[in-house]
Amino acid sequence: QQQVKQSPQSLIVQKGGISIINCAYENTAFDYFPWYQQFPGKGPALLIAIRPDVSEKKEGRFTISFNKSAKQFSLHIMDSQPGDSATYFCAAPYSGTYKYIFGTGTRLKVLA
Amino acid sequence: KAGVTQTPRYLIKTRGQQVTLSCSPISGHRSVSWYQQTPGQGLQFLFEYFSETQRNKGNFPGRFSGRQFSNSRSEMNVSTLELGDSALYLCASSATGDDGNTIYFGEGSWLTVV
């Protein structure tokens, strides 16, 4: 079963707060996990991605952490801003399939 | 560098009709994949092409088909449209489509079937 479980489905955070989104994958997946950000009416845009040689990657206010033994990875948005209000998707590629399995998405709303 | 370009952006079709969507990948990218996005099902993989060959296909009926041209541009076709085909169709490109290749999405084609 190729599945990526993403939680929570929706998230409301105050400006300046921390937003945390979690994903768990099943079975064999290649160790490369990207996160996409999607605004209404737009296609998903790559936000940040992590490769297997590190357990954490930080880019500005965005951090991915990866726990291989638990088959989990998460996105942390520090100092959340109203402009971060969007839907976030995690994804996992499955070896040799030339496709990604996506999480169901998290709708984030950051209150001003 | 131009991103992934999809045309048309919006279209309305009637049940039973067919539709063709077009995708131009990022220059130099040879892998093109297609995804369907709906509120209920999220992002679902349709198929992936590399060097004009379909390497994988998702769980969609045969009414959904695609092809890739020698310049890596791709088209997908949906025949005998059903109301449930209303969705955002996203094209994504990557350098080779191999494990660990980042995929980059276009803005999508919004299809409404009435």
Each residue of A87-107: pLDDT tens digit? 999 998 887 888 899 999 999
CA distances from A88 to A17, A26, A101, B87 (A): 17, 19, 14, 18
Q: With contact defined as beta carbons under 8 Å apart, do A33 and A56 qualify?
A: no
Which chain A residue lies closest to B49 (C-alpha atoms)? A98
Cβ separation of A32 and B100 shorter than 8 Å? yes
Cβ separation of A95 and B99 shorter than 8 Å? yes
pLDDT band of A68, cuts 50, 70, 90:
confident
Which chain A residue lies closest to B3 (C-alpha atoms)? A45
Higher pLDDT, B99 or B16: B16
Residue A29: pLDDT over 70: no
Each residue's pLDDT tens digit, B22-39: 999 999 999 999 999 998
Q: With contact defined as beta carbons under 8 Å apart, do A19 and A61 qualify?
A: no
Structure tokens at A26: 């099943």
Q: For residues A90 and A37, what is the distance between their CA atoms, to the nearest angstrom? A: 9
Q: For residues B29 and A17, what is the distance between their CA atoms, to the nearest angstrom? A: 38
Residue A2: pLDDT over 90: no
Which chain B residue lies closest to A102 (C-alpha atoms)? B43
Residue B15: pLDDT over 80: yes
Closest approach of chain B CAs to the CA of A70, in angstroms? 20
Strand order across the A72-77 sheet = A4-7, A19-25, A72-77, A62-67, A56-59
Residues of A with a Cβ under 8 Å from any B Cβ are: 30-32, 34, 36, 42-46, 49, 51, 89, 93, 95-105
**Residue A28: what pLDDT?**
63
Residue B1: pLDDT over 70: no
A84: Cβ–Cβ under 8 A, 6 or more apart, which residues?
A19, A77, A108, A110
